[in-house]
A and B are shown apart, each in its own frame.
Chain A
């Protein structure tokens, strides 16, 4: 009897579910990666409890989202890379349709049109965070590596269309991250450094174009970065207060739930985008480095999985997911410490919020799937 594809996917390859590691392996889970992620999430909940004013309701809420995201990760981990690859163009196309629907029929919130309401409200741009690197990797899978200029042009369009649609919502932060996830794929695919540097040079006039494209509040954020004290109660307030929070934390911090900047409400967005400042205030440099080490471990494991992958699609996708995760961590921490302008990028797996967590862990599900579905025989 021929098994349906779905049955094949979910049937255990190996029925010896006697040991724990056997169970883990049978569920296509990568132990080290899962361990690293769970440590980050646990640490995150701990910090969030303090940052959200010790509200148990919020923690339960976040834990539930985390549970949903972990389930999503487990499900994705069961999908073999070949299956994902075959469905990639459809997923990408569906994502584009949804983005267009958002722009025409989406719900407005906080001055932007980002949500689609189909029974549940969700942001199609979140799905695009995975669909774009998948599509780029799919395109390169069958083609010559390093990519030829003509292919690069096609990839540029594949990346630019969703980026443009998301920037139009407007959601510049997500748009740039999605563009980054696609660009990472082509860099990993071996795009020549001549072109990379050439594009970097072109990025200067490109930045000016982007500047013209930016809305006033976005321009203000950039200007504020360079001189936060110019408007200490307005646009510069977030950066000033977050620097005070982090700086006053010192080496060892003020102690859990004792951060005065966070608890006395000086620090805005303390349980969402600026939660890193709460961590810095309450746990000091030590706590911050512990979290960064955990992130590095997860990213390192991701890159290891990418290197171990057996086909182009898996390799590029795994590399992109890992490095995009790094970009998230960097943009958020650099923003909170006042190194880059304030863009709405949460601290991955720590900031309060649901959709981004599902996307992130689904991405790690792909990594696990890639690792556990390796064809153990050499070609």
Chain B
């Protein structure tokens, strides 16, 4: 220590130091006081807020999806069920290289290589511990194959799940439809509370229109989760206090269809290899007994999930298997509307039962060279109304069309339900068209096109031109003919069953009124003519009806796909198959006590009486108990 440095005054130095220490101590108290004040604020005044936030942090509500209701046919046979199936799942956080794993899974054919980008994206989006489903149903071979290779695929495993299953494949593909994985538009449409936890929803058919009944209500479980949303084991949960009570899921209702499995099979097999539709209705109550559209597809593909390639194949198939022709296909009804027009003509006085026309094979309007041809080139000769129906003479109807007029045609055909949706309990129905002057004014923008021409009335009288009807509408119309005017709303669902109590709620037939043609004599004659179509000596479909063990009535129809040039020879062979006429047939049986009404359309089937009529008859045979299997 240098001598020059001042002598230290230990006492004053100590006093100074003590002063500073006291100040520091006060300062310390102030600092910790600030912290304590903050703690009091957080833990006393804001305690409830933070307690709530902490609760919200840890409790997650998980939905328990309900079990979907079953679908049965009218005799209680299972049409749609839920089967346990093993599905292939990938848990992203347990897989080191997702793309590599997917590639190797594709290499052993467990997944489709086209789907790799989709699965990669899925694996990267959601929470990493949530499994991504790669395949909804594994076959026994696939399970066996994967079981051997499982060590090569850490993070990939199969899990049991309930999968919708349609045991009859394509048989009910259009009527019952299918369920498919929820997509964004479904999510927007459906009640998120009820669908929490649900993976599939009805997309088409009864599965879609009765979704509300079939689905059931989701239950809820309260889970304790950690910061990453992972569920915490139950023993930890107990430590963390009690949770709100869970709510069990209530299963969806079972649906009993009016459809008959056997009838479906007959119609389905009859349409094998063709494009077309069959609809059968019980005329007394509107129950739809059969509804088949061909070609069909396997609805299980949608329930299980298919590869992009498979879906593209279905979507791009020129035969349009996904299209429900029975309710969405609209065709010119052709001669099938003749019985209805006959009733209209009688009722309005446009014709009478004794009037005869001489059919020379064509009809011409006054002052016009255009020939409206009869399907029979050489003509039917002299025909009355009965003959015009049973032999399907076009010229007779051409001749009375002017007196009947398009607006009367529209009025009466509308009474039979044509031109508007039947209101059947399957979505997506098309209303078809029954033209009128007003309709033409409203549906064409060009002034010239808004005018109604005489010639258009002429072709409308044989169900050509603008007129369009669906197979379902035609079936409903012929059912209405069979009951002499009583209409019932067609429906596919006969009863809804509560799965817990077993109580069934029957769907009451809905009477839509009478077509209001009061004269029974007119009915007698028109129906008799329809009977003679099938079983009369000159009936157009006598080849089908003759020899049947029951009485029936029917009417064939042929709808032009392409208009044939004047005087051109109609050579079927030269026409492309797809340019051939559509074959139509409507019928009901038994004649005196109608139990079934059937409409059949075979696209490009050429002839209603020889192609479509046998299909209708096979369906009626089965339903009335006269099928080959039953008699043998």
Q: Note all chain B residues with C-beta closer than 8 A to A306.
A: 17, 21
Distance from A325 Cβ to chain B, minimum over Cβ atoms (Å): 10
Q: With A258-B240, A285-B43 given, is the CB distance from A307 to B18 under 8 Å?
A: yes
Closest to B35 in A: A333
Contact among B35, B57, B241 with A261 in the assembled complex (CB-CB below 8 Å): B57
Roughly how many angstroms separate A319 CA and B21 CA in the complex, as a whole number? 7
A188 touches B24 (CB 8 A): yes
A145 touches B46 (CB 8 A): no
The stretch from B86-94, B219-227, B348-356, B532-540 touching chain A is B219-227
**Residues of B in contact, count (CB < 8 Å):** 47
Q: Determine if B147 is an interface residue (Cβ-Cβ < 8 Å).
A: no
Distance from A374 Cβ to chain B, minimum over Cβ atoms (Å): 13
Roughly how many angstroms separate A257 CA and B241 CA in the complex, as a whole number? 12
Q: Determine if A284 is an interface residue (Cβ-Cβ < 8 Å).
A: yes
B25 touches A303 (CB 8 A): yes
Closest to B40 in A: A285
Q: Note all chain A residues with C-beta closer than 8 A to B43.
A: 246-247, 249-251, 280, 284-285, 288
Q: With A285-B40, A339-B34 given, is the CB distance from A248 to B51 under 8 Å?
A: yes
Roughly how many angstroms separate A323 CA and B25 CA in the complex, as a whole number? 9
Q: Determine if A330 is an interface residue (Cβ-Cβ < 8 Å).
A: yes
Main secondary structure of the interface of B (DSSP, over half): helix
Q: With A244-B53, A247-B50 given, is the CB distance from A303 to B21 under 8 Å?
A: yes
Which of A146, A189, A250 has its CB near the most chain B CB atoms (within 10 A)?
A250
What 1/0 flags go to A305-328 for Cβ under 8 Å of B?
011000010011001000100100
Q: Note all chain A residues with C-beta closer than 8 A to B226.
A: 263-266
Q: Note all chain B residues with C-beta closer than 8 A to A295.
A: 32
Q: Determine if A218 is an interface residue (Cβ-Cβ < 8 Å).
A: no
Roughly how many angstroms separate A323 CA and B29 CA in the complex, as a whole number? 11
The stretch from B2-10, B309-317, B483-491, B560-568 touching chain A is B2-10
A145 touches B16 (CB 8 A): yes
Contact among B31, B46, B227 with A265 in the assembled complex (CB-CB below 8 Å): B227
Which of B29, B57, B239 has its CB near the most chain A CB atoms (within 10 A)?
B57
Which of B28, B36, B228 has its CB near the most chain A CB atoms (within 10 A)?
B28
Closest to A293 in B: B32
Q: Note all chain B residues with C-beta closer than 8 A to A264.
A: 57-58, 224-227, 232, 240
Q: Note all chain B residues with C-beta closer than 8 A to A323.
A: 24, 28
What 1/0 flags go to B461-498 for Cβ under 8 Å of A?
00000000000000000000000000000000000000
Q: Determine if A329 is an interface residue (Cβ-Cβ < 8 Å).
A: yes
Roughly how many angstroms separate A243 CA and B32 CA in the complex, as a whole number? 17
B38 touches A337 (CB 8 A): yes
**Residues of A in contact, count (CB < 8 Å):** 55
Q: With A190-B17, A319-B24 given, is the CB distance from A248 to B32 under 8 Å?
A: no
B32 touches A292 (CB 8 A): yes
Roughly how many angstroms separate A102 CA and B236 CA in the complex, as a whole number? 45
Closest to B52 in A: A248
Q: Note all chain A residues with C-beta closer than 8 A to B51.
A: 247-248, 250
Q: Determine if B96 is an interface residue (Cβ-Cβ < 8 Å).
A: no
A187 touches B20 (CB 8 A): yes
| A residues 335-352 in Cβ contact with B at 8 Å | 337-339
A247 touches B47 (CB 8 A): yes
A188 touches B39 (CB 8 A): no
A334 touches B34 (CB 8 A): yes
Q: With A146-B16, A247-B42, A323-B28 given, is the CB distance from A260 to B47 under 8 Å?
A: no
Q: Determine if A296 is an interface residue (Cβ-Cβ < 8 Å).
A: yes
Contact among A142, A288, A289 with B5 in the assembled complex (CB-CB below 8 Å): A142
B1 touches A142 (CB 8 A): yes
Q: Determine if B519 is an interface residue (Cβ-Cβ < 8 Å).
A: no
A260 touches B35 (CB 8 A): no
Residues of B at the A interface (CB closer than 8 Å) are 1, 5-6, 8, 10, 13-14, 16-18, 20-21, 24-25, 28-29, 31-32, 34-36, 38-40, 42-44, 46-47, 49-51, 53-55, 57-58, 224-228, 232, 236, 239-241
Between A and B, 14 residue pairs with Cβ closer than 8 Å are A144-B5, A188-B21, A244-B53, A246-B50, A247-B46, A247-B54, A250-B47, A257-B239, A260-B224, A266-B54, A285-B40, A329-B32, A334-B38, A339-B35
4 other contacts beyond A142-B1, A330-B31, with CB at 8 A cut-off?
A: A189-B20, A247-B42, A248-B53, A296-B28
